[in-house]
Amino acid sequence: MSGSVAERLAAIRQRIDAACQVCGRDPAGVELLAVSKTRGADEVRAAHAVGQRAFGENRVQELGPKALELTDLEGLGWHFIGSVQTNKVRALLEVGGLVLLHSLDRPKLAEKLGEVAAETGRRLDVLLQVNATGEDQKHGVAPADAEELARRVLRIPQLGLRGLMAMGPLEGPPEPVFATVARLREQLQDALGQVLPVLSLGMTDDLEPAVAAGSTLVRVGTGVFGLRG
């Protein structure tokens, strides 16, 4: 993980390109999300300077001040990838440049997001977070309950349902888990009669199998910013 942010970003993009070549995909169909949680504004600036525009955060109390500090960066888009407590929804929706919430996992959160978004006159694109491994350590809707949650989200005009997010298993190969989520997206598209263009799968260590499974958005933190000091 040595080298500068620019060098690590280039290496990750090369990995994405190579993974796409192996499975016959266009690299343009896989977006890189640089996970900047716990990282300083200077590191975000370094990544932005070499073309990175999408950044992921997992704590509202960290994202708010960081976003304010970086309002001068053109084209910067924030993704929220952490679990959201309903009492933090208002603060989250106040963040300028918030483009996508990856972690909608329960009806109560959907309703609160819709309520606050309606009050503030904004709209938010969201992904359903799916717990495809059944591990207690992970948040997410169970695959069997995903369609019901998706239908509830679609009834909230302030929310735009864009797809699914999931994490690989804590132990064992990620391929079966990623395949399950990819199939679930296809099933939901058929059941809902709606295209769900975003499949957020894969991190630093399982990027390649995620791309092979059809991921359109990979979330990379350590691979971009290096090990935390």
Q: What is the pLDDT along the chain (229 residues), one digit of tens a residue?
A: 568 999 999 999 999 999 999 999 999 999 999 999 999 999 999 999 999 999 999 999 999 999 999 999 999 999 999 999 999 999 999 999 999 999 999 999 999 999 999 999 999 999 999 999 988 888 999 999 999 999 999 999 999 999 999 999 999 999 999 999 999 999 999 999 999 999 999 999 999 999 999 999 999 999 999 987 5
pLDDT of residue 2: 67
Query: Which distant-in-sequence residues (6+ apart) come within 8 Å of 45 by Cβ?
Result: 70, 73
CA distances from 51 to 55, 68, 147, 220 (A): 12, 20, 36, 15
pLDDT of residue 51: 97
Take residue 179 and report the two structure tokens written for it: 């395949």
Q: Which helix H or strand E contains 180, and what residues bound it?
A: helix 175-192
pLDDT of residue 3: 84
Query: Which distant-in-sequence residues (6+ apart) come within 8 Å of 63 by Cβ?
Result: 57, 78, 80, 92, 95
pTM of the model: 0.96
List domains and CATH numbers for the chain: 5-225 (3.20.20.10)
